[in-house]
């Protein structure tokens, strides 16, 4: 009876050894295959295009000085009307023109110590703003603004509030095509890498799209916008 139990134990032990060896082989083989399957390459694809802005915001700021408050307001009204007529004559509609309230400064109320009396007690500034989709019409008007200067209007355009702004609003229209281009470019780079490494390009493992950026092409052409996006794609590689 003891001999039978001993034989059974030996057989069981041999079976366990064989089973564990087989399991180890299978796990090792699976790990090797998994490791081979995890070979990847990460590439980036760029899409960059230029578009013309479709909205322009043009603030025209001017100033007036006087010792008589009533005369100053009258002068501002005349200047505003001259600017309005100039813009409409240039092809800009009345509905594309808006006016800010005048900002008045009383210099006599700002006197400190023995400062000299200013030549003009009152100064005022006002902004006429053009908001239009007619980019070229507005740009033509900008080039002829000196005509108003010859009529005695004093422009103040050296601050941030008076800077012209060009806006590109059609980003959603161009997104699909640019994403497709960036993804295609990324795949071309990945295929070149796979070819050079004597590998085969597999399926996409992960993909991410960067943020779209919009900036001026250069300082001399602020109405031309450069739109840019980068896609990052990781592909599987195989032998």
pLDDT at 164: 93
Domains of the chain, residue spans: 1-38, 39-54+168-239, 56-166
CA distances to 96, 102, 115, 121, 179 from 111, rounded to whole Å, are 40, 22, 7, 11, 61
- What HEC string does 197-235 produce? CCCEEEEEEEEEECCCEEEECCCCCCCEEEEEEEEEEEE
pLDDT tens digits, residue range 128-152?
Answer: 999 999 999 999 999 999 999 899 9
What is the dotted CATH code of the domain comprising 39-54+168-239? 3.30.110.170
User: CA-to-CA distance for 65 and 26, rounded, in angstroms?
Assistant: 92
With bands split at pLDDT 50, 70 and 90, how would you rate the model's confidence at 227? very high
pLDDT tens digits, residue range 60-89?
Answer: 999 999 999 999 999 999 999 999 999 999
| Token pair 């505003």 in the structure block, residue | 80
pLDDT of 29 > 60? The answer is no
* Topology at the third CATH level for domain 56-166: Alpha-Beta Plaits (3.30.70)
């Amino acid at each position: 009876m003891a001999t039978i139990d001993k034989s059974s134990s030996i057989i069981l032990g041999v079976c366990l050894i064989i089973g564990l060896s087989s399991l180890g082989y299978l796990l090792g083989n699976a790990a090797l295959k998994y490791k081979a399957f995890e070979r990847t390459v990460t590439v980036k694809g760029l899409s960059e295009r230029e578009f013309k802005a479709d909205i322009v915001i043009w603030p025209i700021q001017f100033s007036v000085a006087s010792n008589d408050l009533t005369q100053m307001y009258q002068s501002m009204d005349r200047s505003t009307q001259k600017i309005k007529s100039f813009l409409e004559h240039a092809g800009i509609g009345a509905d594309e023109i808006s006016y800010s309230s005048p900002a008045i400064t009383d210099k006599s109320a700002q006197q400190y110590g023995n400062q000299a009396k200013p030549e003009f007690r009152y100064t005022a500034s006002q902004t006429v703003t053009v908001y239009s989709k007619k980019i070229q019409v507005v740009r033509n008007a900008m080039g002829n603004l000196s005509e108003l200067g010859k009529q005695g209007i004093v422009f103040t355009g050296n601050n941030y509030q008076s800077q012209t702004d060009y806006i590109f609003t059609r980003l959603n229209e161009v997104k699909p095509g640019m994403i497709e281009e960036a993804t295609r470019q990324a795949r071309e780079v990945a295929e070149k890498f796979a070819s050079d490494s004597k590998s085969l390009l597999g399926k996409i493992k992960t993909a991410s799209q960067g943020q779209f950026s919009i900036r001026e092409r250069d300082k001399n052409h602020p109405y031309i916008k450069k739109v840019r996006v980068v896609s990052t794609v990781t592909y599987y590689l195989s032998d």
